[in-house]
Amino acid sequence: MTMFLVRTAARTAVRTNSCRSFCVSHTHLSDRKGLVLGVFEKKEEEEEGTLHLTEAAAGFDKSLSGKLSELLKLSGPALKNGKSRVFYGLHKDFPCVAVVGLGKNNAGVCGTENWDTSKENIRQAVSAGCRLLQDLEVSHVEVDSCGDAQSAAEGAVLGLFQYDQLKSKKKTKVTTQLHGSADVVGWEKGVMYGEGQNLARLLMEAPANHITPTAFAKTIEEKLAPHADRVTIHKRPQAWIEEQQMGAFLSVSKGSEEPPVFLELHYNGSPDSKQPPLLLVGKGITFDSGGISLKPSASMDAMRADMGGAATVCASIVTAASLKLPVNIIGLAPLCENMPSGKATKPGDVVRAKNGKTIQVDNTDAEGRLILADALCYGHVFNPRAIVNVATLTGAMDVALGSAAAGVFTNSDWLWEQLHRASVVTGDRVWRMPLFQHYTKQVTDSQLADLNNIGKYSRSGGACTAAAFLREFVKAPHWAHLDIAGVMSNKDEIPYLRKGMSGRPTRTLVEFAAGLAHNG
């Protein structure tokens, strides 16, 4: 056993971020393992200094004759949720051990927050511990299940992700595994959930000149290649789009030199080949300049992620295939750029959607609803059991809910309950929004056509009028529109996601599909 440090006058204490590090020596840590262990908060009635180690942490402490718990008591105030400390030289197999605060034990589902607090605490704590070890250039980390191996795996995988593909200097690549054998199945499931969201983050974060419609489709095709026995992929070219008379979609794409692609994915996971599919539709604007109704230049670069709907939908299908979920899913992603040019649609132009309805395009920056309109019309040919479309659709959604939750507009109480239940499990929340006829009247009151793409009062209830517009292209009794504009990126709101594009709500879509697979 190597040296360990107790509290003495001679100790060296190093503070980094929110953690206190007790250092002896950490040379060549990149060649060794790190370990993340959890500790719960004491109960209110208990004395200061009372420790509640997780089962794995208690076992580790016992193997050290109580030295870990001794150090935790000596090292300062009890660890709060998401805070961490690192100890060096405690164990010959683990040169550094990160202990993370998990909050209250068995906190459970919080009706006010609409999530499972225990799961969120685990994700946050494990993420903090893994990042701390990554900063120390430790390349392999074992992780305590903390009582929920899936949530622990999600925290590790999501917390360690950073888009640095185009940088010369990259973060240390860290491999993670479950410490012990508490719940290997749950851990592997959590890894797949986390990797699915990271795929969406990868697509959303990449520059628009690297993820064009064609490159997007190719990336998804490569990710689904290992599941060729269960997945069929159609990359529909412009000629096919024209044959389908998708005039609304074509009106958006024609301003760009990049050809549009209509990506169609069929995942056949159910042993019952006649099972109606779940239909997922994602907005795939790989760059949104606003078209002739040009956006302000400030922050326009973020519009490389305006294909977040398509990214989350396709990533969720990749994840469903990895999990081998016993459900049939069809994914549709109309992919194109929205650019200004001599060929671009002009404000006031009238276009015709696949279902024959004419649309007066008064603002070319309200383009997402146009490409979704044609995709929704087409999707009905599969007679789906439910339709869920996902889109970074309106700034108004960001104003309404911020980054706390994705807005859900739906004509089905059953579908809302399924989505809400899934979001409580994942912590990636949804919130129901209104679909009143009040909003429908605003988009159907058009001077030149059947519909107006921005409605009568463009600034009032913008997310609601956009949803009402989409509803005009839906006949299915179970349909939901998720406006994810507010959750597109992360600053510091979600502690286990680094700053950047969030990939939300991929895990909620996967959990929702899993719920349909297992509960019917």
Q: Does residue 310 sit in the same domain as residue 440?
A: yes
Check pLDDT > 90 for residue 15.
no
Give the span between the Cα atoms of 483 and 468, in whole angstroms: 12
Q: Which of 42, 235, 295, 352 is catalytic?
A: 295
Structure confidence at residue 2 as a pLDDT band (50, 70, 90): very low
Range of the domain at 157: 13-182
Contact between 33 and 140 (Cβ < 8 Å): yes
Q: Does residue 172 sit in the same domain as residue 216?
A: no
Check pLDDT > 70 for residue 29.
no
Contact between 329 and 311 (Cβ < 8 Å): no
Give the span between the Cα atoms of 488 and 201, in whole angstroms: 9
Q: Does residue 403 sit in the same domain as residue 485?
A: yes
Contact between 330 and 227 (Cβ < 8 Å): no
Domain membership flag for residue 363: yes
High-pLDDT (> 70) share of the chain, %? 92
Q: Does residue 107 sit in the same domain as residue 209?
A: no
Structure confidence at residue 3 as a pLDDT band (50, 70, 90): very low
Domain membership flag for residue 58: yes
Structure confidence at residue 182 as a pLDDT band (50, 70, 90): confident
Nearest to 135 by CA among 83, 187, 98: 98
Rounded to an integer, the average pLDDT of 279-307 is: 97
Give the CATH number of the domain where residue 73 resides.
3.40.220.10
Q: Taking each helix axis as running N to C, give the angle between helix 67-74 and helix 55-63, from 0 to 180 degrees, rounded to the nearest 10.
A: 110
295 catalytically annotated = yes
- Is the pLDDT higher at 273 or at 241? 241
- Residues 6 or more apart whose CB falls under 8 angstroms from that of 160 comprise 127, 130, 131, 134, 174, 176
Give the span between the Cα atoms of 431 and 176, in whole angstroms: 33
Residue 380: DSSP 8-state: G
Domain membership flag for residue 192: no
Contact between 244 and 353 (Cβ < 8 Å): no
> Can you tell me which residue has the tokens 């099972």?
275
Q: What is the mean pLDDT of the chain?
A: 92
Q: Which of 102-111, 205-214, 249-258 has the lowest mean pLDDT?
A: 102-111
User: Which of 134, 153, 182 is the endpoint of a domain?
Assistant: 182
> CA of 41: how far to CAs of 53, 83, 100, 103, 244, in Å?
9, 11, 11, 5, 60
Q: Which of 71-75, 137-141, 184-188, 338-342 has the lowest mean pLDDT?
A: 71-75
Q: Does residue 237 sit in the same domain as residue 366?
A: yes
Q: Does residue 233 sit in the same domain as residue 159?
A: no
Strand 284-288 versus strand 328-338 pairing type: parallel
**3-state DSSP assignment of residue 338:** strand
Check pLDDT > 70 for residue 159.
yes
Structure confidence at residue 42 as a pLDDT band (50, 70, 90): confident
Q: Does residue 160 sit in the same domain as residue 285?
A: no
How many domains in the chain?
2
Domain membership flag for residue 7: no
Check pLDDT > 50 for residue 495.
yes
High-pLDDT (> 90) share of the chain, %? 86
Q: Which of 369, 471, 498, 504 is catalytic?
A: 369
**Could you report the per-residue pLDDT of 364-416, keeping only the tens digit for each?**
999 999 999 999 999 999 999 999 999 999 999 999 999 999 999 999 999 99
Instruction: Output the DSSP codes for 467-488.
Output: HHHHHTT---SSEEEEE-GGGS
Domain membership flag for residue 187: no
Check pLDDT > 50 for residue 187.
yes
Rounded to an integer, the average pLDDT of 451-473 is: 92
Give the CATH number of the domain where residue 261 resides.
3.40.630.10
- Residues 6 or more apart whose CB falls under 8 angstroms from that of 478 comprise 385, 386, 387, 411, 412, 414, 415
Q: Does residue 76 sit in the same domain as residue 160?
A: yes
Q: Does residue 126 sit in the same domain as residue 231?
A: no
Amino acid sitting at position 147: G
Q: Does residue 376 sit in the same domain as residue 451?
A: yes
Q: Does residue 177 sit in the same domain as residue 266?
A: no
Check pLDDT > 50 for residue 12.
no
Give the span between the Cα atoms of 389 and 279, in whole angstroms: 8
What's the confidence (pLDDT) of residue 10?
A: 28
Domain membership flag for residue 1: no
Check pLDDT > 50 for residue 470.
yes
Instruction: Provide the H-helix boundaries in 307-394.
Output: 308-323, 368-379
Residue 93: left (phi > 0), alpha (psi -120 to 50), or beta?
alpha
What's the confidence (pLDDT) of residue 377?
A: 98
Check pLDDT > 70 for residue 4.
no
Nearest to 250 by CA among 330, 334, 313: 334
Q: Does residue 363 sit in the same domain as residue 406?
A: yes
What's the confidence (pLDDT) of residue 77?
A: 81
* Helices vs strands, H then E, count in the chain: 15, 24
Instruction: Note the pTM of the prediction, 2 decimals.
Output: 0.94
Instruction: Output the DSSP codes for 38-64.
Output: EEEPPPTTSPTT--EE-HHHHHHHHHT
Give the span between the Cα atoms of 386 and 1, in whole angstroms: 58
Give the span between the Cα atoms of 6 and 8, in whole angstroms: 6
**Best-predicted range by mean pLDDT (28-32, 102-106, 407-411):** 407-411
- Is the pLDDT higher at 42 or at 92? 92
User: Which of 130, 154, 182 is the endpoint of a domain?
Assistant: 182
Domain membership flag for residue 502: yes
Check pLDDT > 50 for residue 361.
yes
Nearest to 21 by CA among 139, 160, 129, 168: 129
Give the span between the Cα atoms of 43 and 50, in whole angstroms: 9
- List, in sequence order, every residue forming a beta bridge with 351; answer none if it has no partner: 359
Domain membership flag for residue 426: yes
User: Which of 125, 157, 182 is the endpoint of a domain?
Assistant: 182
Check pLDDT > 50 for residue 13.
no
